[in-house]
Amino acid sequence: MPENKEQLNSGCETPKEEPTVKSTETTYTGIGASRGIAVGECYSFVKEESNHEIRELNDKNTGEEIERFLSALHRSAHELKKIEQVTIRKLGKGYSNLFEAQIMILQDPVLIDAIAGRIQSEHKPAHLVIEEEFDQYLEKFKNSDDLIFQDRADDLHDIKNRIIRNLHVRKLHSWIPEGVIVASNTLSPADIILLSRSNIKGFITDTGGKTSHIALICRSLNIPIIVGLGNISQKVSTGMPMIIDGTTGTVITNPEEETLARYLRKNEEAQKSDADSSLMAALPATTKCGVRITFYANIDFKEELQALTAAGAEGVGLFRSENLFTEGTKVPKESEQYHYYREMAEEIAPMPLDIRLFDIGGDKLMYSPVKEQNPNLGWRGIRILIDLPEILDAQIRAVIRANVHGNLDILIPMIISVDEVLKVRAIVDRHYAELSSECNSQVEKPGIGAMIEVPAAVELIDEITRCVDFISIGTNDLTQYTLAVDRNNVIVQDLFEKFHPAIVRQLHRVIAVAHKNHCKAMICGDMGSDHLALPFLLGCGLRKFSVVASDIPKLKSLVSRYSIAETEALARECLTFGSSAEIKACMEAFEAAH
């Protein structure tokens, strides 16, 4: 039975009912952010911006306007506390922290004083001042070249709209029919939590990304979601038959009978495969010939840790620490980082946790002196951290202080020289020496790893693997920089080819040299989850993978089908080809034979 539909305000407008119009089958492609197939009727749930009357204030009614603003904050916090309780019931304590963070923003005295002060001094209506104050940060988020920071804009936008809507004490509700596929221009974490009480089959949105909070929540709820579909909310209507595939990012409206039958079969096969793979999750990953393979998880937030054990992960191979930047651009304090890392380390111990140092660009810093034309080739990653030692020092000290269980390691992003590694190692040594004498309890020095994601690092792989404890291959950026193809540029998307001979040969070389120098090697890019690439990587000698947690059971199941001798023969054959098509065909033939 679904939960009682109490009148919780998610911030959603009452949906518009539209007549169903039968039309031809149409396919749309977005970003699959939570896998799974859903078949059902669409429900149009478009969120609209509120319109406000512009009125002038005087000395007398500015006080009343400030009271309206404070009351709106109070109502907004009350709503979020209720949503937090629903979240705890559905997902446990972890994701409720998202709403705790939003409540803290609503209670921030600096923000409150700034808005109230401007209402008083400028005689502006509350909604205008709220818009302007929040939009300062939203502008930085939206203009960021980093998809993670673009996703954070959705969360902040939701807080802004919630306060403004509550200025008018409007009763909005989140009830919708059972078992529909929700289509919306944008959704917030609160929307997902509340709408999921109606046994929603899936979600599709105009905006959003794979790393957004709504994507993470849907993955935890096992609800498929496809984001980044442009203006899909304007093209669909309530009652329209629909199929969504969260794995491929495909949306099909008004499917033909043959298409419907095909996806129903595909869904049945996927469910059976998932059931078989889930049996493997708790078991060690072992090849047919008995070689042990280790799978770690890539994560963005500590809330994801609770799902690792069920997925069969043996630790975290990549924690993207730049998500700790509060309000998107504000550098987190050492104390804030320490508590965050310490909590993660304790929850996951004794399993390892690799923390990648802030992989940020100049567009993430409030005081960045330049606006770069191409941040991907500019001031980012370890370059910024070395130039701004106060940021690097604080993060390294926080990691060392939190390493009380000895399970934390540091990953350095965007390495192009040995000098960069040596500088970071010297900083770690210095802070470790200081903290060892300062701390009452013994802390352990974290291991140091290098991200291999730039061709320069591949050329220097022999030298780099002699001065780090481990390497992690970031295939997404390595492919982007090797092929000179922006992976987010739709114009050249077809040239972003992970099976390009140059990429395949680089991977083989990096793994082989790391082994020769007794340096642990791991892959953390999307290629590590690719079912075609898996046997090739095993054949190159790779034994450690860090991937999306939900992919681990399936990958473990695949590993058990292969012997190392077979995969080594596959790797040797792939290395002889001069085109992506030949390499992919070879991998497909190998998969078909197993």
Q: Cα separation of 268 and 246, whole Å?
A: 15
Q: How far is C-alpha 440 from the geometric centre of its chain's CA atoms? A: 36
- pLDDT class for 591, splitting at 50, 70, 90? very high
Q: Which of 42, 218, 519, 524 is catalytic?
A: 524
pLDDT value at position 4? 44
pLDDT of 420 strictly over 50: yes
Range with the poorest average pLDDT among 63-77, 85-99, 519-533: 85-99
Q: Cα separation of 577 and 582, whole Å?
A: 6
Q: What is the mean pLDDT of residues 358-380?
A: 66
318: which strand partners? 298
Range with the poorest average pLDDT among 117-121, 155-159, 170-174: 170-174
243: which strand partners? 39, 252
CATH for 288-592 is 3.20.20.60
Element (H, E) at 243: strand 241-245
As a whole-number percent, the residues of the chain with pLDDT over 70 amount to 85
**Alpha-helix runs per DSSP H in 305-417:** 308-311, 334-348, 382-387, 389-402
38: which strand partners? 244
Residues 150 and 144 sit within 8 Å (Cβ to Cβ): yes
Residues 258 and 265 sit within 8 Å (Cβ to Cβ): no
pLDDT value at position 451? 97
- pLDDT class for 355, splitting at 50, 70, 90? very high
pLDDT value at position 462? 98
Q: Cα separation of 575 and 505, whole Å?
A: 6
DSSP per-residue codes, 474-529: -HHHHHHHHHT--TT-GGGGGG--TT-HHHHHHHHHHHHHHHHTT-EEEE-SGGGG
Residues 403 and 381 sit within 8 Å (Cβ to Cβ): no
524 catalytic? Reply is yes
Tens of pLDDT, residues 289-300 = 999 999 999 988
Residue with the larger pLDDT of the pair 303 and 103? 103
What are the phi and psi torsion angles at 81 (to 5°)?
-65, -40
pLDDT value at position 2? 43
pLDDT of 364 strictly over 60: no
pLDDT of 513 strictly over 50: yes
The SS3 call for residue 356 is strand
pLDDT of 497 strictly over 50: yes
pLDDT value at position 184? 92
pLDDT of 287 strictly over 70: yes
- pLDDT class for 442, splitting at 50, 70, 90? confident
Range with the poorest average pLDDT among 219-228, 313-322, 504-513, 521-530: 219-228
Residues 200 and 179 sit within 8 Å (Cβ to Cβ): yes
DSSP per-residue codes, 420-487: HHHHHHHHHHHHHHHHHHH-SS---PPEEEEEE-SHHHHHTHHHHHTSSSEEEE-HHHHHHHHHT--T
pLDDT value at position 302? 85
Q: Is 403 annotated as a binding residue?
A: no
Q: Cα separation of 562 and 285, whole Å?
A: 11
Q: Which of 42, 127, 157, 213 is catalytic?
A: 213
pLDDT of 372 strictly over 80: no
Instruction: Please give the DSSP secondary-structure letter assigned to residue 359.
Output: -
Among residues 225, 219, 221, the alpha carbon closest in space to that of 207 is found at 225
- pLDDT class for 3, splitting at 50, 70, 90? very low
Residues 401 and 337 sit within 8 Å (Cβ to Cβ): no
Tens of pLDDT, residues 276-286 = 666 778 889 99
531 catalytic? Reply is no
pLDDT of 5 strictly over 50: no
Q: What is the mean pLDDT of residues 108-116?
A: 89
**Average pLDDT score, the chain:** 86
User: For tokens 């390595």, what's the residue?
Assistant: 478
Q: Is 356 annotated as a binding residue?
A: yes
Question: What is the architecture of the domain spanning 62-166?
Answer: Orthogonal Bundle (1.10)
Q: What is the mean pLDDT of residues 556-583?
A: 96
Q: Is 48 annotated as a binding residue?
A: no
Supply the angle between the helices 109-122 and 62-91 in degrees, to the nearest 10.
150
409: which strand partners? 354, 447
CATH for 26-49+175-271 is 3.50.30.10
Residue with the larger pLDDT of the pair 139 and 248? 248
Tens of pLDDT, residues 222-240 = 899 999 898 999 999 999 9
Other CB atoms within a 10 A radius of the CB of residue 451 amount to 25
Q: Is 453 annotated as a binding residue?
A: yes
Among residues 378, 370, 439, the alpha carbon closest in space to that of 414 is found at 378
- Amino acid identity, position 458: V
Q: Is 254 annotated as a binding residue?
A: no
- For the record, the structure tokens of 185 come out as 């221009």
Q: Is 68 annotated as a binding residue?
A: no
pLDDT of 169 strictly over 90: no
- For the record, the structure tokens of 6 come out as 């109490």
In the chain, what are the domain boundaries?
26-49+175-271, 62-166, 288-592
